[in-house]
Amino acid sequence: MSERQLLCLKILNHLPYLNTLPSISELRTSLHFNETELNLLRGSNLYGATLDRKKDWEAEWTEARQYMSTFHRDWHDAFTWDRYLTASTYISSRAFPSTLLSSNPSLLTTDSSYPVLLPGVDSLNHFRAHQVSWVVDPCPSTSTPEEEEPPAESSLPLQVTLVVHPQTPKRQELFNNYGPKPNAEFILGYGFSIANNPDDTLVLKIGGAHNKSSHQRWEIGRNAKGIQGLWDEMKQILLNMGDDDEEEVNETEICLEAADMLENMIQQKIDSLPDIPNEPPTGVRPEVFTMIGHYLEGQRDILNSVLDFAQKQQEIFSIEEE
C-alpha cells in the first residue's frame, strides 16, 4: 500500500468519532456569529476578545496554508478558513492537556504537554457544580491464561474514566463539570451560556495617563468580588502622584479621590456597554440572542456592583472628612 493509502486508513480509524462532532453550522461560539450578531457585543470585552482570537487564528491558518502549498496545491485550496475554524474550535472546546494521560495525572498545561482529544469523555454537556471525578488508570490486561507473564502495569496504556457521583436515573442525560467559568469564556470557547451565571467576571485595567507602566488586570466578579486589589492600586497611583514635599499624606482625601476615579471609570464602562432590544433583530438567531443577553446581564450586574462599592467609599470617607 502507498503512503497516501496508509494515511487515509489511519484517518478513517477516527471517522466514527469525527462524525459525532458538530458541523460548522451547529457551532455557536462568538467566532461563528454573523456580523449583525457580533455587533450586538460592540463595546464589551467579549467583542474585543472575539476579534483578537479571530486575528490570531487567521494568522495561524494563513501560515499553515502557505506551508501546505509547498507540498500539494489541492491541499492548500481545500484547507479553507471554515475548516480551520471548525478544527480549532474542536480543540479549544474539547481538548485536554496530555498531562492527563500520565502516571501523575494533571489538568495543568506544561511546556512539554500538547492537546489531546478523548472521544466520548468530551461529549458530555456542562452542569455547574456537578460532582464528577476523573480517574486515570491502566487499561485492563488483555493477556490470555496461557501467557506466563502478563505485561507490567506501567507498560499498559492508560484509560480515563468519568465517575458521576450523584446517581443518574435511567435514560437521563449524564453531565460533566467544566469548572467555574464566566459566560464570556463559555461563549468564546464553547458556544453556550448560563442564565444568571454566578461565576461571571469582568476584567478591568487602569489605563490612561494614570497608569502607563502597569499591565495589571483585575478580574472582578458579581457583588464586586475581587475589587480590593483594584481599589488598592488606585489609591497607590494617587499616592504616587502626590507632592513629594508634603510631609503628611491625607488618607481620607486619597480615598475620596480614588472613589471618584473608580466611579468615573465604571460609569464610562456602563455607558459603553451595548443595549439590546427585547426581541432578536432581523438576522440574529434566537439562541445567539439569548447568549448575548446572558453575557450582558452579567457584565452590567458586575459594573453596577463596583459602582455601588465606589459610592459607598465616597459616603464613608465624606463623613470622615467632616
Q: For 7-44, write each residue's pLDDT tens digit.
A: 555 666 788 888 889 999 999 999 999 999 999 999 99
* Domain match, 189 and 303 both: yes
18-22, 104-108, 149-153, 261-265: range with lowest mean pLDDT: 149-153
* Domain match, 189 and 317 both: yes
Residue 57, pLDDT above cutoff 90: yes
How far are the Cα atoms of 22, 56, 216, 282, 292 from residue 37, in angstroms, in the given order?
20, 21, 31, 10, 9
- Give residue 143's pLDDT: 55
Residue 11 within any structural domain of the chain: yes
* Domain match, 190 and 306 both: yes
Q: Tell which residue, 54, 46, 119, has the closest CA to residue 88.
A: 54
* Domain match, 316 and 191 both: yes
Domain boundary among 53, 81, 96: 96
Q: Quote helix, strand, coil % in the chain, to nearest 5.
A: 50, 10, 40
Residue 225 within any structural domain of the chain: yes
- Give residue 44's pLDDT: 97
Euclidean distance between CA atoms 28 and 290, whole angstroms: 12
Residue 77 within any structural domain of the chain: yes
Residue 124 within any structural domain of the chain: no
Residue 149 within any structural domain of the chain: no
What is the CB neighbour count within 10 angstroms for residue 71?
A: 9
Domain boundary among 96, 119, 144: 96
- Give residue 81's pLDDT: 95
* Domain match, 316 and 208 both: yes
Residue 211, pLDDT above cutoff 90: no
SS3 97: strand
* Domain match, 84 and 201 both: no
Domain boundary among 96, 117, 144: 96
How many domains does one find in the chain? Answer: 2
Residue 127 within any structural domain of the chain: no
* Domain match, 91 and 188 both: no
* Domain match, 307 and 191 both: yes
* Domain match, 211 and 316 both: yes
Angle between helical axes of 286-321 and 251-272 (0-180°, round to 10) = 160
The contacts of residue 262 (CB under 8 Å, 6+ apart) are: 230, 231, 234, 306, 309, 310, 313
Residue 130 within any structural domain of the chain: no
- Give residue 292's pLDDT: 98
* Domain match, 315 and 189 both: yes
Q: Tell which residue, 94, 48, 11, 129, has the closest CA to residue 299.
A: 48
Residue 49, pLDDT above cutoff 70: yes
Q: Could you say which DSSP state residue 82 is in?
A: H
Per residue in 147-165, pLDDT (tens digit) is 555 555 455 678 888 888 8
The per-residue pLDDT of the chain, averaged, comes to: 87
SS3 64: helix
53-62, 235-244, 274-283: range with lowest mean pLDDT: 235-244
- Give residue 251's pLDDT: 87
* Domain match, 189 and 291 both: yes
Residue 226 within any structural domain of the chain: yes
- Give residue 63's pLDDT: 92
Per residue in 78-99, pLDDT (tens digit) is 889 999 999 999 999 999 888 8
Residue predicted with more confidence, 244 or 61? 61
DSSP-assigned beta bridge partners for residue 204: 218
- Give residue 146's pLDDT: 56
SS3 285: coil
* Domain match, 90 and 187 both: no
Q: Could you say which DSSP state residue 201 is in?
A: E
Give the range of the structural domain holding residue 308, as residue numbers without chain letter: 183-321
54-58, 75-79, 213-217, 276-280: range with lowest mean pLDDT: 213-217
The contacts of residue 102 (CB under 8 Å, 6+ apart) are: 136, 158
Q: What is the CATH number of the domain that holds 237?
A: 3.90.1420
Q: How confident is the model at residue 107 (pLDDT cuts 50, 70, 90)?
A: confident
Overall average pLDDT of the 124-138 stretch: 86
Residue 245, pLDDT above cutoff 80: no
pTM of the model: 0.87
